[in-house]
Structure formats: structure tokens, C-alpha cells
Structure 1
């Protein structure tokens, strides 16, 4: 599983910013979906582990394990391990996982990078304990009046589509059916306004990871990409609370049948 946005130190920093931006909405989603504290919580595509730690705190689980196929991200995450939180190198598109069956599996913004969410969800269901939960957060839509943000998002959407992936994978996830294995418990869209400077910081850091991709070099001029990079950097240094961008986050909880 190749991650389009890279696993450099810049990419790790972007994931820290992203974790901070979405932490409150993710904590609320997970706390509302999970009743009893799970014995084993597994974070799929954990990156450097920021959200793994946050959700282990929310869930007060006996054990939390983050899985990722990036050696660099896992090496960063393992520096933060505790007696109950650990991290393992593993491609989450492959089963079995190197853990016992999980009571709660979680992923955020992962299926947007993977082909065939239906097949993957079916595989993941087999890694749940009886009555275990699979919690998924993905992008449903992003509304913005900011011209720079719109240009950036259009490029990312096209780049993902070129790899048979989708930026706005939420509607697909919403319709997932895994008869005999999973039943849907909750399915909603959470609206989340993000401060303009925080969105710009995420986008500015991200563009560093993909601006030299062959697809980008073939389809967009260096002048356009350099100009977009500069505009995002300028927006990122503003520290007011203004927001002209809103995410719609598809949040779904499945239960193992």
C-alpha cells in the first residue's frame, strides 16, 4: 500500500497538525460509539501515532496497537510507546493483523487512499472480536469560498482519481454493506469548520509531498504549483479564527455480527 502523500518528516508534521485539527470531533465520535472500554483497540494506518494515543486515552482500553506500513512513521511512533500502547509495522490491506482480534478497530482518512473499500471492509471485519466495532471517518465533502483552497482541492481530487482513489470517499463508505459480517450501528455526517490558517498549514505541508509527482508535473505548470504553494504559505501564517472552509466528515460505526 503506497501512501500518496509520503512519509517524510514534513509529512509527519502535517499529520500532527491534522491530528490536532480533528482531535475534538474524533474523540466525540469514538466516545459516543463505544460503550465499555475495549480490551484491544487497533488504529489502522496510525502514522506517527498521534491519534492512537488520543483514542487510547478516550477509550481507556487495556491495550492499544497502531498499525502502519511506513517504517519511518512506525519508528517515530515507537519512540512514544507505553506499557499499554504499542506500534507495529504492517500493511493493513493484508490480513491477518499481527494482533489478536480487536474489540475496536478505527481508521480516519485511510480508505480515500485505498482501492475497493468494500473488499477491505470485509477483510477488516474478520479481524474483529464478536460484537467488536469498526469505526471509520472519511471525507464526505469540503465546502470552501477560498479560491486558493478550491484550486488545491481540485488538484488533489484529480491526482487521487488518476490512481483510482477518491478524495470524497464518504458517500461510498456510507453505502458499504458486508452481509453476514457487519451491521451498521451509526452513520452520520459531522460538520466541522476549520480555521483558515490551520487548513492552509495542512495544505501547505501536503503540497511539499506531492508537487513533484509525475501526474502533477504532466498536468499542471510549475508556475501554477509554485504560486499555489506561496499563497498557502501566506494564509498559514495568519493566526486569527477566521474560517472559510468546512469539512463534512462521514462517521460510521459497524458492529461485528
Structure 2
């Protein structure tokens, strides 16, 4: 069994900071586009106007930077990065991001789901949620086998279908979520990128088309597949 795919060249620093809330955005989680130091910021506690609260800033680093994890996560380095406001650093940790998938999610009676089966970058919420959908599909397969006497072939179908979901939907969608943050001109993105144009559209049909894969492709209906294959 191999973990196929690739590792992105840049590392990310997850930084927990205390910061005063000069305003409370309608949608607190936000992405910052930048060719190098692209960032996702999200509250770790409910932000209240005028009060100080805990936030997480996950900041990309320069690809090929050979400094140690201690140096890249050091407050002196973090304070040298572009920042809009004053803040107090509580903790910081460095990690790498990957786009990888196990060559099979089943080996005998051993079954993989979540991060054991696949890993991807954190942009767009497709990692933990994909793992939850893996677990849902696997639970249905095991229930049919253990409680209803169905064929163990359902475990192979689970492996094949969840691998296909990663390759067909999660990996490409997730990859372009990341690339939009650092390989897109923020001045023209709203006019040139289909994703931003769709977000700005007021046509319900556009929203439905955009959302459809999250309902039709991302989850796996094991009972429907079992019926289709006569299992």
C-alpha cells in the first residue's frame, strides 16, 4: 500500500493570537490572497466588538525556506510578516500540507478512512468533512454486512467509491481552493475566476449548479450502490 500524490513546497504556520476586535465580520472565517503569505483566519472564540479574543492565523511560508521549524515559528519571524493589526502571539506551530491518497482503503479486514486514507490542504473544509463522509459510508457498509448478512464485497465497493470521490471531487476542488489564494491576481479574480463569479451571481440556478457536487458527488450512498449491484 502506498500513499500516492504530492507534498506542497511551502509550509504553513498555525498561529494562535489574541487580537482586539475593531469590527465583527458577518462571516468570521476569511481568506487572505497573497503570492507568498496567503492566509486563513478564523476565530477560536466568539469575537465581540471592542473586546480581545483568540484567533488562528494560518500563514503560508516562502517555498524552499530552509530555516528550522523553531525559526519559522519564532515570534520575531512571525512579526516580520505582513499583518494588519497588533496582536499577542499565544503559540505557533509549523506543518506541511499534502495531496495524497492511499492506493486502497481496504486490505483484508483492515479499512481506512479520514486522514489515514487521504490527506489534503486545509482550504475549503474538505479534510475533516471528507473523513466524516468516509465514516458514514463505511458504517452503512458494516451494518449491512454484520446485521443483514450482506456480501463483504461491499467493503471493496467502499474502498473504490471513496477513492473515486477523492480523485474526482476532493483533490481537484481542494487544490484550486489553495491556488486561488496565491496564484490569482486579487485585483481581477472577481471578473476572471468562475468561482468568484458564481459567488457573486444572483441567479439561483448558478448557486444550485455550484452546490450540486457537494450533495451528489461528495457523499457515498452505500445502500443505493448495494441495490444497484444486487448485493
TM-score scaled by length of structure 2: 0.25
